[in-house]
């Protein structure tokens, strides 16, 4: 592919092609812009040359960051080929798997064989701060989960109420507002105001347990949180183990790679002990008033294994239940046959839960739609 060309313009075009292989959007248009740019600068200066190409060919932040390396790689390769006439083999971009395979879900369903974690789930009191590595999660699975959650979110957002709201687009004429608005012009109807049915916009709050006992499901949880944040705007996400962290902003990143990196942060207490009571109490104190109202659905994902105070759990759950529209508790364990919510934490919380459902496979994700 990278055979040496003697003229500069040919080299530039080849460089653009090289970038295209690396995921840049450098088409015809960019090629000609790059050539135009070179007309304007002193391309004898290698630094100027580099900056100019960078300014023209990068389209987003990720590209800005990788451009330097790719630039070096390409022009170094060229230098190597000065004396050789051999053509290097074409590097083919690894093909993107089309069917989301739910690798992480499958692996733990079938005995967790990818070596990510091979310990049994239990709870612990010790605070363990370790960085979590999510690199084993593949991007292609996200698409499928995203699709499922998108369907859920759509259902959430699509509920129309009987009330109307003002609409900037032409929909139904709003007679009352139209008359009112035109009164001051002597009653001549110049502007027509429109209305549309109000949408029922539920807010969502997701509170997710990432403690040691939930470690088996960690990668699924990350995918779930990421996907739901991507498709549903009115959403706040928190994670807790021994204390509570707000991760809404971390999840709002564009690329899943960034999210994996940010969420893996050691301060987030992945795999530490569980203090549901304290964490929920903290949530109620800091965010309860602000985030929970009668239109909010609170989703708590936890197995209910707790080492903290039961009293605090009860008061917090009572508060959340009394203010929120609905409290959904998703317990990965409850998908197993014969599961009974007998853990102390779970038993305490149960009276304040509207929906107690499993999240253990795709089917259960679908079921979730029934409740929302």
> From the centroid of its chain, how far is CA 157?
18
Residue 35 or 78 having the CB closest to other proteins:
35
Contact 153, 145 (CB under 8 A): no
214 closest CA partner among 116, 122, 313, 336? 122
Rounded CA-CA distance 330/300 in Å is 6
Residue 30 or 141 having the CB closest to other proteins:
30
Partnered with residue 204 across adjacent β-strands are: 235, 297
Residue 61 or 163 having the CB closest to other proteins:
61
Count of residues touching other proteins (by CB under 8 A): 38
- With binding defined as CB under 8 A, does residue 177 bind other proteins? no
Q: Pick from 1, 3, 9, 311: which binds other proteins (CB under 8 A)?
A: 9
DSSP character string of 219-256: HHHHHHHHHHHHH-SSEEEEEESSSEEE-HHHHT-SSH
Q: Which stretch binds other proteins (CB under 8 A): 24-32, 79-87, 149-157, 308-316?
A: 24-32
- With binding defined as CB under 8 A, does residue 41 bind other proteins? yes
- With binding defined as CB under 8 A, does residue 128 bind other proteins? no
CB of 53 to other proteins, least distance (A): 10
- With binding defined as CB under 8 A, does residue 285 bind other proteins? no
165 three-class SS: strand
CA distances from 100 to 103, 144, 147, 176, 232 (A): 8, 5, 10, 51, 21
Rounded CA-CA distance 351/328 in Å is 12
- With binding defined as CB under 8 A, does residue 225 bind other proteins? no
Q: Pick from 8, 64, 91, 192: which binds other proteins (CB under 8 A)?
A: 64
Residue keyed to tokens 């079938």: 110
- With binding defined as CB under 8 A, does residue 249 bind other proteins? yes
DSSP character string of 309-353: -HHHHHHHHHHHHHHSSEEEEE-GGGGSTT----SHHHHHHGGG-
CB of 359 to other proteins, least distance (A): 28
Residue 59 or 366 having the CB closest to other proteins:
59
Residues at the site binding other proteins, with contacts judged by CB under 8 A: 9, 25, 29-30, 32-33, 35-37, 39-42, 47-48, 51-52, 54-56, 58-61, 63-64, 168, 185, 188, 190-191, 246, 249, 252, 254, 265, 267, 286
């Amino acid at each position: 592919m990278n055979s040496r060309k003697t003229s500069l313009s040919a080299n530039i075009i080849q460089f653009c092609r090289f970038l295209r292989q690396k995921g840049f959007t450098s088409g015809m248009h960019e090629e000609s812009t790059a050539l135009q740019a070179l007309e304007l600068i002193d391309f004898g200066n290698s630094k100027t040359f580099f900056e100019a190409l960078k300014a023209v060919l990068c389209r987003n932040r990720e590209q800005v960051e990788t451009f330097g390396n790719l630039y070096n790689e390409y022009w170094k390769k060229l230098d190597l080929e000065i004396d050789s006439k051999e053509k290097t083999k074409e590097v083919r971009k690894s093909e993107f798997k089309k069917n989301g395979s739910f690798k992480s879900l499958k692996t733990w369903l079938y005995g967790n064989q990818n070596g990510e974690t091979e310990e049994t789930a239990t709870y612990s009191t010790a605070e363990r701060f370790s960085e979590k590595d999510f690199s084993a999660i593949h991007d292609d699975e996200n698409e499928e989960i995203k699709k499922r959650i998108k369907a859920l979110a759509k259902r959430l957002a699509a509920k129309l109420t009987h009330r109307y709201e003002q609409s900037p687009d032409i929909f139904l004429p709003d007679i009352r507002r139209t008359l009112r608005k035109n009164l001051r012009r002597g009653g001549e109807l110049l502007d027509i105001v429109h209305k549309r049915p109000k949408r029922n916009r539920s807010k969502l709050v997701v509170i997710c347990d990432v403690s040691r006992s939930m470690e088996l499901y960690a990668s699924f949880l990350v995918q779930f949180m990421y996907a739901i944040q991507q498709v549903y705007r009115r959403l706040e996400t928190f994670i807790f183990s021994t204390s509570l962290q707000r991760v809404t902003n971390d999840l709002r990143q564009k690329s899943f790679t960034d999210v994996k990196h940010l969420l893996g942060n050691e301060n987030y207490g992945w795999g530490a002990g569980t203090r549901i009571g304290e964490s929920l109490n903290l949530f109620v104190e800091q965010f309860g008033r602000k985030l929970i109202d009668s239109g909010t659905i609170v989703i708590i994902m936890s197995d209910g294994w707790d080492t903290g105070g039961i009293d605090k759990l009860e008061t917090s759950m009572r508060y959340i239940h009394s203010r929120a529209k609905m409290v959904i508790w998703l317990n990965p364990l409850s998908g197993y046959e014969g599961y009974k919510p007998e853990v102390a934490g779970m038993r305490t919380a149960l009276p304040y839960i509207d929906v107690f459902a499993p999240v253990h496979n795709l089917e259960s994700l679908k079921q979730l739609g029934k409740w929302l």
